[in-house]
Structures are given as structure tokens and as C-alpha cells.
Amino acid sequence: MEKSSHTGKSRYRTEKIIRITFFCISLASIATLALITIFLFMEGLPIFKEVSVKDFVFGQYWYPTDEPPDFGIFPLIIGSLSVTGVSSLISIPLGVLTALYLAESASASVRQWVKPVVELMAALPSVVIGFFGMVIIAPFLQEVFDVPTGLNLFNASLMLAFMSIPTICSISEDAIFSVPTELKEASLALGATKWETISRVILPASLSGITTAIILGMSRAIGETMVVLMVAGGAAIVPTSLFDPVRPMPASIAAEMAEAPFRGDHYHALFATAVVLFLFTLLFNLAADHISHKYKQVGASTL
């Protein structure tokens, strides 16, 4: 005791200061989120002096550089939703089935190789995938399906699916993996096959986690920029076929921002588009968060 150099009180004060400092730093993320919201609204709201919210969101025509300009982002919203929808038709089954493969049926040595593959898929820069879709997939589609352009909704969905599979797969796998072993063993011990155990015990128990994974995967798809900028074709129309070119919101923002006059109507309209996009992803993320918290309990009680 005589060798201790700190007194209790000064120690407490130091500890308290450290704790408070860390707390303040940990607020950085939420503060940034708030700043993003504030600045998007600040730069986006002025457009509503020119057009009403209703005309902006439901307007059929996006001709921002015409005289007079049209600021209707309905085709852009439909563009975003359609690529997200079509891509999830591909990514959900592939992502979830791969997760099941990794968690339940692959041997340890196979798993050791497949898992990094999924991680590498997630790590591929979006501009590279966009580039690949442009120079390899587009000509291929054009030829095989005999369509006027290979840069279209289908191509973009394909590339987006590739980008959201890793998200869906890894989060689903976590959920599947966290189902207690006792449950699995109980089912197997009763004579169920592995697949019966998966379909009757494991899937119901991990359903909320898989749902979260799917929502986050879709959120990734709707917000992805470079892929849709490079391969979606860029036509601001409501698509009528799978091979129509579309112009999702992120593509429109990224393509036009550089040319929009600073703080002109076009500039504000692009920020307002970003607000809509931001709200979409916020909605997806809040839904995912809600589901994963509400049904956090994995186990017997969720069956």
C-alpha cells in the first residue's frame, strides 16, 4: 500500500475524464449522420420553391437542362426500384442458399476456401464491376438477346446482384450459425435428416437474421452508384421491359452533378434526389435494425 502512488480520488477523476472523452468520440458517427441529413436537406430543399414535392416525386419527366426544365424524378425512382427488385430476385436465392451451404453442408476444408471467395466478392470495387458489365456483359447480352443496347435494366440487375450477394450471404450465415447446437442436435437425434433439420428448425430460428440480411442486401443495391451509372443505360424513362435502359437515382446524381451550375435549380434538384435516395436506404436500414432487435432471441422461443 505504501508503494501506491495514486490516491483514490485523483484516480476516479482521471477515469471519469477518459470515459467521457471516449463517449464524446463515439458520438462522431451519429453526429456525421446528422450532418449528412442537415446538409442534404439544406442543399436540396430550395428546389421545392420551384416545384411542389408532389410534382417532384411523381413528375414523369426529368429534363433538368431544358428551358423550362422538368424536375420529375418518378422515372428515376422507378429505375432504382426496378433494378433493386430484379437484382434481389437473383441475389436472395443465391445469397441464402450459399449461406446455408457454408453454414450447414460444406465440409470444413471447402468452407475454408469458399468463405474468402465471398469476402473477395464483397471487396471488388464497384467501378470494376461496372466496367466489367460494360465491356463484357453488355456486348454479350446484345448479341444473345438481340436487343438494341446491352446497357440496360437486366445487365445492371445482374451486376447489382453480384454486389449484394456477399452482404446477404455473410449476414445470413451469421444468423444460421448462431442457432444453438442443442436445437440442431435435438432434431438430428430424433431421426430428422440434415435437410429436415435445416428446413424445420434452423430456418425458422434464423428467419429474422435472414430477413435482416435480405433487407441490407437490397439497401446496398438501391444505393450502389458506379454500377448503375455505367451499365444501366441512362434513359430517364419508366421501363416496360427487362431490356430497357433505365436511369436509377444514384446514376442521375453522379452523372449530372459535375455539370450542374453551383446552387442552381439543377444542383438543388440533384440534392433533393439524394434526399429521396437517402430516405429509401434509411428506411431499409431502420427496418433491418428493427427486425434484428425485435427478434433478437434465436432459439426455442422463436420456433
Partner 1 sequence: MEKSLKIAIKELNFFYRDFKALTDISLDVYAHEVTALIGPSGCGKSTMLRCLNRMNDLIPYSRVEGRILLNEQNICDPDVDVVSLRRRIGMVFQKPNPFPKSIFENVAYGMRVNGIKDKAYIAQQVETSIKAAALWDEVKDRIHESALGLSGGQQQRLCIARAMAVKPDVLLMDEPCSALDPIATQKIEELIHQLKKTYTIIIVTHNMQQAARVSDITAFFYLGKLIETDVTDTIFTRPKLKQTEDYITGRFG
Partner 2 sequence: MYKNLNRTQKRRKLSQFIMFGFFRVSAAINGIALLIIFYFLVARGWRAITWTFLTQPPMDSMTRGGILPCIIGTVCLSLGAIIAALPIGVASAIYLNEYAFQGRALRIIRLGINNLAGVPSVVFGLFGLAFFVVYLKMGVSILAGALTLGVLTLPVIIGATEEALRAVPETYREASLGLGATKWQTIYRVVLPTALPGILTGGILGLSRAAGETAPIMFTAAVFFTPSLPSSIFDEIMALPYHIYVLATAGTEIEATRHLQYGTALVLIVLVLGLNLMAIIYRARLQKRQ
Q: Which of residues 80-119 bind partner 2 (CB under 8 A)?
A: 93-94, 97-98, 100-102, 104-106, 114, 116-119
Q: How far is the CB of 281 from partner 1 (least distance, A)?
A: 33
Among 1, 30, 123, 144, binds partner 1 (CB under 8 A): 1
Select the binding partner of residue 1 from partner 2, partner 1, none (C-beta < 5 to 8 A, by kind): partner 1
Site for partner 2 in 149-208 (CB under 8 A): 162, 165, 169, 193-196, 198-199
Please tell me whether residue 296 binds partner 1 under the rule CB under 8 A.
no
Q: Give 3 or 49: the residue with its C-beta nearer to partner 1.
A: 3
- Should residue 28 be labelled a site residue for partner 1 when binding is judged by CB under 8 A? no
For residue 149, which phi and psi values (nearest 5 degrees)? -140, 140
Least Å distance between CB 29 and partner 2? Answer: 5
* Rounded Cα gap, residues 40 and 163, in angstroms: 26
Shortest Å, Cβ 78 to partner 2: 17
- CA 246 to chain CA centroid, nearest Å: 19
Residue 230 interacts with which of partner 2, partner 1, none, CB < 5 to 8 Å by class: partner 2
Give the alpha-carbon dihedral of 234, 238, 242, 248, to 10 degrees.
Answer: 40
Q: Which amino acid is at 254?
A: A
Indicate the residue among 12 and 140 with the shorter CB distance to partner 1.
12
CB of 115 to partner 2, least distance (A): 9
Do residues 134 and 155 lie in contact, with contact meaning Cβ atoms separated by under 8 Å? no
By CB under 8 A, name the one of 128, 143, 182, 204 that touches partner 2: 128
Contacted by 198, from partner 2, partner 1, none: CB < 5 to 8 Å by type: partner 2
Task: Tell me which amino acid residue 140 is.
Answer: F
Site string for partner 2, 14-53 (x = CB under 8 A): xx--xx-xxx-xxxxxx-xx-xx--xx-xx----------
Phi, psi of 71 (to 5 degrees): -115, 70
| Dihedral sign computed on CA atoms, order 107, 113, 119, 125 | negative
Polymer length of the chain: 303
Binding residues for partner 1, per CB under 8 A?
1, 3-6, 8-9, 11-12
